[in-house]
Every structure is written in C-alpha cells, then in structure tokens.
Structure 1
Amino acid sequence: MSIYRIRILSLILLCVSSLAMAAPKQVQLTYEASRNGQLFATVNETYQQEGNRYRIESVTKGVGVYALFGERKLTSEGEVTAQGLKPSHFELHQGDNEKRALYTDFDWDSGQLKMKIKGKLNSVPLESGAQDLSSFIYQFMFAPPSGSEFRLPVTTGKKLRTYHYNVDTSGETLETVAGKFKVVHLHEAAAEADDDGKELWLGVEQHYLPVKLMMKDDKGSKIEQVLTGIKVE
C-alpha cells in the first residue's frame, strides 16, 4: 500500500473516531404515538454509554384502553466502536406474554445471528454492521446518513432484513411540542417495502436522533411517533 493511501485511510479512521468521541453518552427521548391519528401510547427511551459499552431501553405504555395490552419493552446492549454501535444482545417483550418475547444474540466471532422465537432458535449469517430495532436509530449518531441512499442490515428479532432508504437533505423542518427541528428525511426506497419498514425524520442539530418515525402495523394501520421531549448529555 502506498504512503498516500495509508495517509487517506488514517484520515478516514480519524474522522470516524472523532464522530464516536463526539456522540453523547446519555440520551433521554420521549414520544407520543398515534394510530391513524388517535393517541394510543407514550414512548420513553434511554441511551447510556459507560466506557465502551452501551445500553438502550425503549418502553411503550398504552394510553386509556390501550394500557390493558401491557408495556412493550425493547433493550439493546453492546459495544461502542470507532464505527459506532456493535450490538451483542437484543430483547423484545410485550406485556407478560412470554410467547411473544424475542431474544437475539449477535455472535460476531462465529458470524451468526441467533434469534430465539417462541423457544425455538433460528440462526442466520451475521452481516457486517448489522443492527437491531433499538440500536439502528442511535447508530446515526455515529454514522449520519449521506449521499442519496443507503442500506443497513437490521434484525427485528424474527429475521434479518436490509433497510434501503432514500435520503432527503433538502433542509426540511419539523415543529413538535419539543421544538422546531431541521431534519434529514429517510424513506423506504423499495416500493414493496416490508410492513416493519420505517420512515424517519432525524434532527440534524440533535446528533441525528429521530424527531419523528412513521410505520405501519401488522393490520395496516398508520403509526406515527413524534418527539415530545429530549435531553442529551
């Protein structure tokens, strides 16, 4: 390798490392979630980094009659590297129904993603840079979306799929009860996007944390999750 290429590679690694150093160590986000325009839940998320380890927790609590379904809790744990988040374990729980719980281990040494669904283990090849449902939106703190499109492998706990996004950096702004935000808009590039796909609006001046998310549930209802509070340290 030539000295010129070595210098370029060193500069790239330095820039990536600088992003990791600049990313916040503590994040608290609160959202209101609506289904077809009707409020049904609140979402509280925390991101914590201690040393080179991180933990993310997301708790969705139903409002009114929706509280009867119990809390939906997602957790992600792993390592913070120069490239960003490297998950090691992910869990999803819906109320006290253990049959609906999902457990996922990222076995980077063997290159296997091990997903436990209803007590049965399903293993698939683990792709480089793979994230889980909780970690992938915080990965943007370390690797902001650039260019016109990008792809990111993400596990839902049941399968590993590749999110393919178009990137809109036209300077769109969103106003919520938490404030007015300049955002980057990510929307699914594939017309036949899966039901678990998400559309995101990331706050440019808020470490590219999500200001708004939009998706469809398994019944085809439109789910919107809008930021109501943010605390970053």
Structure 2
Amino acid sequence: MWNKSFLIRCKGIWQNPSYRRFAIALGISFLLHLFLIGKFYFNVPELNQGHHLIEAQLVLDTPTISKPVLPTPMVVPVKSKPVKPIPVVEDVIKPVLSEAETPISSESQASVEQSPPVVTAETISQIKPSDAEPPPESIIEESVVKINPDAYQYVETEFDVRTDISASVNSSAPGKAKIVYELLPNREQYKIKSLMEAKGLAGLVIPDLLQTSDGFLINTGLQPKHYLYQFGNNKNKTFMADFDWEQKKLYLHGAKGDQTLDLVEENSNTTQDLLSFMYQFMFSPPLQTLKFSITNGKKLGLYEYSFEGEEVTPTKMGNLTTVHLLRNTNESDEKTELWLALNYQYVPVKIRKTEKDGKVYELLVTSLKTEKPATQAE
C-alpha cells in the first residue's frame, strides 16, 4: 500500500512542470559532475607514466656524458712546450715535477738544480787532452794484439805433390807430403813437422825434404824458437835458425858458416820461418797487403804478399773456398802462392812454387784433420 501511494505521489510531482524542470536540471548536473570527476581520475595514470619516462632519461644521460670528459688531462703535456728555450733549465724541470705521480724530495730537487752549472765552458776547458787520449790508444793496441782464441790445437794435412798443375785433381801424383801442427799439452809451446817424399822409383833418386819448427804461443800468435831445413843427407842443403827473443837476435847456421842478424818484433809482424809463417794465419787472418820478416835458414828477408781474392779450389776433399795470396819477386819470374781455406781457419790447403827456370811444384790437399788421433802418444 505504501509503495503504491509513493508511486502516485511521484507521478503527481512529475506532472507538475516546475518540479519536472528541477528534476531534469538536477539529473543533468549529476551527470556533468560524474563526467568531470571520471575524466580527472583517468588522466592521473597518464601523468604518472610521463613522470617515469622523464626519470629514466635523466638517469641514463647524465653519467654517459660526464665519464668521457675525465680523460681530458691528456692535454696537460701541452704545457711542456716551453721546453723549446734550451738555456732555461728550471722552466723545463718544474712542469715535470708537478705532473709526476710520486713527489720528488727537496734533496733531489737541490741536486737537480745544482747539476746544470757543472757542465760549463770553464769545466770543459779544464779537461786536459792527455786525459782523453789514452783510452783510444789502449783500444788500438788491444785490437792489434788480439788473436783468434779458438785456433786449432792440432792440424794434420796430407798433400799430393804435383809437377803438372794442369792435370786432373784425381790423377796420380809423383810425390806426397804431410804437415802436422800441434800445440803441446802445456798450451804454451808448439811444433810443426813437414815431410815431403817422392813416390815409386823416383823415391830412390830424390831425397826427402824435412822441415821442422818449434817455439812458443804468445799474445800475437806463433813465436818460433828453432827452425830446420834438411834436404836428404846433403850438408850443403841443411840449414838451421835459432831465435833469441831476449837479445833480439837471429842465428843462422849452414855449411858455409854462421850469421847473426837482428830480429823483427812489431806486434803481429814478428819474424817467422817458412813453416810458422803459414800457420800464423790461424791466429791473425790475412789482410789486403801482407809483409812478413821470414827466414828460410839461409837468410832473413822481407816477404810481401798480395791479396788476390777468394777462389773455389777443387781438391780430393771437394771444392774448398780459399783466399789466394801471391808473392812475386822483381828480379825474376820466381813466385810463391798460397791458398788458405776459409772454413778451416785459413790453414794452407794449396802451396805452389814457381822456380826461375819455370818449373812448378804444387802441394794440393788430399785430407785434413783437426783432431789428434786417440792412438797417437802425447
């Protein structure tokens, strides 16, 4: 009943024009407020999302820009350009001290500041020329005296003795020779023995040629003490030489008498004999022009050899790279030639003698040993 009466009243109110307008205005106002309130509510999340985007940009951009700026101290070395004025030593030192990672003590700074005045024109003028000259002279003297410290202690060389130098290397030779160089166990003395023999029936007619040399090993190489040249049992072709290095005298002995001569002792150009001369090259390699004071037992003469160049020498051992030395005499066509093996410390591997009458005698190596046989007695 109550509900029915409420509906009848509402209809009466709605039929009244004034109440109807009021109700419509009230509804429109309600809807308008509801719309405005709803629009403001939906815009709030959009403002929050925009705020998050701004924060993300600020966090990422700020550190990436500031970090690359830190390496700019590399520009600091530009301050060292004032080094150009060389006389101003203090200006050059100060920037280095300020930029160093470890500070320099006051004592070291004082030593640095005091060191430049030491090098002045006055101090340079006080240096005597005699104080600077001895070092170069001592260096030159040492270079002259220096010899090969690894020279062979034993060399045994066998040769074919040839009279026809145009013959094949492998052809039969009419003679043979053997030269043995040996440094004695005390490492202070040496001995050399050379024996030349004819082969076959010629050996019955042609006597042997024996040569020996013994002496000392000094700081310039070989220093002979005694030399012997003996051709068979013929006394007229037997000669001896004795070297007295203390008195600087050379004593020659032969069938025709004795001689006393002065020895030459000038660094590496000491007096040699015919054997020691050839093995001296192990200690002092040949140069472009060579002059030697050499005795053959009969006389003492100045032998001048010329450097003819490097050659490949065919032998029964194979091809050997050699240095060719030549000695000519102005008086005749007589000459002596040596071929020294480069790979064997300049040991002679070919020796050629051309006589005045044109005859040629040649020793050509067939074997070469640089180690003493174990069975050979000391």
TM-score by length of 2: 0.56
Relative contact order, higher structure (CA 8 A, sep 6+): 1
Which residue of the other structure, out of 42, 55, 68, is the alignment partner of 2:176?
A: 42
1:200 and 2:338 aligned: yes
8 Å CA contact 2:179, 2:192 repeated in 1: yes
Residue type at the aligned position of 1:48: E
Match of 2:159 among 17, 25, 31: 31
Q: For 1:161 and 1:219, locate their aligned partners in 2 and report how far apart those are by CA, in whole Å.
A: 22
> Given the two structures, how large is their TM-score scaled by the length of structure 1?
0.89
Q: Is the 8 A contact 1:48 1:56 kept in 2?
A: yes
Q: Report the Cα offset of residue 161 of structure 1.
A: 1.2
Partner residue in 1 for 2:220? 83
Instruction: Check 1:41–1:114 CA distance in 2 against 1; reply closer, same or farther (3 A cut).
Output: same
Cα distance between partner residues in 1 of 2:247 and 2:135? 35
Name the CA distance, whole Å, in 1 between partners of 2:332 and 2:281. 21
**1:101 CA displacement:** 1.4
2:303 corresponds to which of 154, 163, 166: 163
The 3-state SS of whatever aligns with 1:23 is coil
* Uncovered stretches (5+) of structure 1, i.e. residues with no partner: none
Shift in CA distance, 193/46, structure 1 to aligned 2, threshold 3 Å: farther
What is the DSSP-based 3-state SS (H/G/I as helix, E as strand, rest coil) of the residue aligned with 1:44? strand
| Structure holding more helix per residue | 2
User: 1:19-74 deviations in whole A, cap 9, x for unaligned?
Assistant: 1x210001100001112448331001100102110000000111123212222110
Deviation (angstroms), 1:198: 1.5
Q: Is 185-194 or 204-213 further displaced after alignment?
A: 185-194
Equivalent residue, structure 2, for 1:154: 294
Q: What does the per-residue CA deviation read over 1:98-117, in whole Å, with 9 as the maximum and x for residues that have no partner? A: 33211110111222211111
Larger Rg: 2
Hey, what's the Cα distance between the residues in 2 that align with 1:132 and 1:205? 24
1:184 aligns with 2:323: yes
Q: Does residue 139 of structure 1 match 2:275? A: no
Give the alignment partner of residue 215 of structure 1, picking from 345, 353, 361: 353
Compared with structure 1, are the counterparts of its residues 218 and 91 closer, same or farther at alpha carbon in structure 2 (3 Å cutoff)?
farther
Question: What CA RMSD, in Å, does the superposition of the two structures yield over aligned residues?
Answer: 2.1
Distance 1:12 1:193 in 2: 37
Cα separation, 2, equivalents of 1:154 and 1:63: 30
Query: In structure 2, what residue type is equivalent to 1:135?
Result: S
Question: 1:173 maps to what in 2?
Answer: 312
Residues 43, 59 of structure 1: 8 Å contact kept: yes
Deviation at 1:7, TM superposition (A): 5.0
1:22 counterpart SS class: coil
Alignment gaps of 5+ in structure 2: 1-129, 168-172, 372-378
What letter matches 1:93 in structure 2? Q
CA distance in 2, matches of 1:144, 1:180: 21
Instruction: Give the conservation status (yes or no) of the 8 Å contact 2:229–2:296.
Output: no
Alignment of 1:7-18 (within 5 A): 7-9=138-140, 11-12=142-143, 16-17=146-147
The answer as to whether partners of 1:23 and 1:142 remain within 8 angstroms in 2 is yes
Q: Using a 3 Å threshold, how does the CA distance of structure 1 residues 194 and 63 change in structure 2: closer, same or farther?
A: same
Q: Helix, strand or coil: the match of 1:96?
A: coil
Give the C-alpha shift of residue 181 in structure 1.
1.0
* Number of residue pairs matched by the alignment: 227
- Structure 2 residue corresponding to 1:98, chosen from 224, 229, 235: 235
Q: In the TM superposition, what is the alpha-carbon distance from 1:4 to its structure 2 partner? A: 2.5
**CA distance in structure 1 between the aligned counterparts of 2:160 and 2:253, rounded to whole angstroms:** 30
Mapped to 2, the partners of 1:109 and 1:193 lie a distance apart of 37
